Amino acid sequence: MTCIIEARDDKVHTLAGAFDKCLRVKGAAVRVHADPVLGWRDMPLATTEWYRDGVGLVRLVREEPAQATFLTGGTLTMELVAWQ
């Protein structure tokens, strides 16, 4: 997966509250073994992660529109629910 920093001062709202000055990192494309017939393929995949200094990862969104015999795509969202 190749990742780039998209923003250094992003604001994110989570169940744990709002976090400003977040680093937003975007990752895309990964090579996976799709199935025995297709073999290894570059599957479309996008991951966006937000990190806050002193807190760590506060939110992650992963989108996989993959459709293969053994893979079904979807979206996964994880976010911080509590922090002290």
Residue 49's CB: how many other CB atoms inside 10 A?
Answer: 18
C-alpha distance from residue 46 to each of 15, 33, 36, 59, 82 (Å): 23, 17, 24, 14, 26
Nearest CA-CA partner of 2 in 20, 35, 27, 31: 27
pLDDT in tens, 6-65: 999 999 999 999 999 999 999 987 777 666 777 777 777 889 999 999 999 999 999 887
- Taking only the tens place, the pLDDT of each residue in 43-60 is 778 899 999 999 999 999
- Does pTM surpass 0.85? no
Measured between its terminal Cα atoms, the distance across the chain in Å is 32
